């Protein structure tokens, strides 16, 4: 990986976000686009559930409906995530043959999370990578990450909590066993935000800029701010349509 | 008869296995959770292959359907145990 395209923070509809990550992975995997780091937000707010999750087990659909929260199913495994104001999402996509990212999954999570950990530390949060796929500060989760390998690409996307509308956490039905396993008694107690750690508001661009700089250092590559390509954008409507379908959303 | 087995894999992820069986044969199987598998669609294939097998073919079916699949947060052994629990 000698250069990295960065797509700066933009806010999109939930299914467009999912479609863009997928369209970029298709293009990167077929060498039509360079390795890419994208930052995004969600409007309206959304819950994203993992590929293998059962929607009724994870999401309070009534609460989501009455609070204008959409639900999408990711193409990546992992758990349910709430994407509200103050939450920063990133996606990193690289060709699956690129030696910059290890073939083994655990090693590749660590490799891709390392620049994010460094960026959070640079901002003043005492962040550490917490296997399998989290980043924590003081034992609480500030970032969750999920990976897939498709289309000839490795796609990892993840969430970084700059701030959190805690009232919205009711959208998630989190199992008690999972919380106990982590020594927390509610979802909220298990999470921490940059705003809580640093005692100040941060703009998404401040955090994404810090992360992009660390990717440049960690991967020793050039960073070029860019845009989605026409090939990628052309694919978005069809992929978003699939993500909107009942078949996809309720498939498990 | 439909049975469910739930497990938080130690150091791993949440897994829910739901299996229906009738007269010693599996009639339906669904595996959900917050684990990872690469490639993901191996699980749809596994669920398809489990349908219709006699209960003593669980191990062989899981091992063949998930051969070469990278699992993260659960193991083939977890799945086999959980499916067999549903059949007890």
CA-wise closest residue to B79 among B2, B16, B10, B11: B16
Beta strands in A18-109 (DSSP E): 36-42, 46-49, 70-73, 81-83, 87-95
Closest partner residue to B34 (CB to CB) among A77, A106, A181 is: A77
Residue A170 confidence class, pLDDT cut points 50, 70, 90: very high
Residue A68 burial (CB count, 10 A): 9
Q: Distance between CA atoms of A89 and A38, rounded to whole angstroms?
A: 8
- What are the tens digits of pLDDT across the range B37-62? 999 999 999 999 999 999 999 999 99
State the pairing for strand pair A134-137/A140-150.
antiparallel
Average pLDDT over residues A193-207: 98
CA-wise closest residue to A145 among A173, A168, A117, A124: A117
Query: Model pTM?
Result: 0.95
Chain B residue nearest residue A182, CA to CA: B11
A50 to B12: CB separation less than 8 angstroms, yes or no:
no
CATH class of B2-87: alpha beta
Closest partner residue to B70 (CB to CB) among A79, A105, A178 is: A105
Cβ of residue B40 closer than 8 Å to a chain A Cβ: yes
- Asked if residue A13 has pLDDT above 80, the reply is yes
Chain A residue nearest residue B43, CA to CA: A52
Closest partner residue to A178 (CB to CB) among B8, B32, B38 is: B8
**Coil, strand, or helix at residue B12?**
coil
- Asked if residue B81 has pLDDT above 80, the reply is yes
Asked if residue A75 lies in contact with residue A18, where contact means CB atoms within 8 angstroms, the answer is yes
Phi/psi region, residue A241 (left: phi>0; alpha: psi -120 to 50; beta: rest), is alpha
Q: Which residues contact A71 (CB under 8 A, 6 or more apart)?
A: A14, A46, A47, A48, A49, A55, A59, A61, A64, A249
Asked if residue A154 lies in contact with residue A99, where contact means CB atoms within 8 angstroms, the answer is no
| ipTM, 2 dp | 0.96
Mean pLDDT of chain A: 95
Q: Nearest CA of chain B to the CA of A78: how many Å? A: 4
Is the model more confident about A178 or about A210?
Answer: A210
Structurally, at CATH architecture level, domain A3-249 sits in 2-Layer Sandwich (3.30)
């Amino acid at each position: 990986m000698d250069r990295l395209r960065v797509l700066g923070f933009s806010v999109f509809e939930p299914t467009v976000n999912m479609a863009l990550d997928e369209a970029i992975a298709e293009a990167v995997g077929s060498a039509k686009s360079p390795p890419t780091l994208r930052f995004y937000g969600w409007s309206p707010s959304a819950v994203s559930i993992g590929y293998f999750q059962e929607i009724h087990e994870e999401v309070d659909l009534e609460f989501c409906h009455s609070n204008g929260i959409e639900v999408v199913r990711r193409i990546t495994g992992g758990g349910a995530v709430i994407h509200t104001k103050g939450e920063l999402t990133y996606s990193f996509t690289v060709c699956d043959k690129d030696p910059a990212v290890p073939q083994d999954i655990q090693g590749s999570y660590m490799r891709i999370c390392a620049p994010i950990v460094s960026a959070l530390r640079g901002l003043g949060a005492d962040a550490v990578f917490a296997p399998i796929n989290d980043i924590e500060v003081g034992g609480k989760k500030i970032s969750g990450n999920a990976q897939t390998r498709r289309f000839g690409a490795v796609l990892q996307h993840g969430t970084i909590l700059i701030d959190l509308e805690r009232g919205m956490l009711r959208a998630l039905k989190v199992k008690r066993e999972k919380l106990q396993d982590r020594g927390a008694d509610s979802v909220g107690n298990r999470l921490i935000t940059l705003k809580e750690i640093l005692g100040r508001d941060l703009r998404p661009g401040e955090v994404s800029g810090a992360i992009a700089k660390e990717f440049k250092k960690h991967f020793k590559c050039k960073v070029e701010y860019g845009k989605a390509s026409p090939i990628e954008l052309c694919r978005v409507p069809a992929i978003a349509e699939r993500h909107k379908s009942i078949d996809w959303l309720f498939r498990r | 008869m439909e049975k469910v087995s739930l497990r938080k894999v130690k150091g791993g992820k949440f897994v829910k296995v739901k299996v229906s069986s009738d007269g010693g044969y599996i009639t339906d199987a669904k595996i959900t959770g917050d684990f990872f598998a690469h490639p993901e669609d191996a699980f749809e294939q596994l669920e398809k292959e489990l349908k219709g097998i006699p209960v003593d073919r669980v191990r062989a079916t899981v091992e063949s359907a998930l051969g070469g699949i990278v699992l993260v947060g659960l193991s083939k052994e977890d799945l086999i145990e959980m499916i067999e629990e549903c059949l007890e």
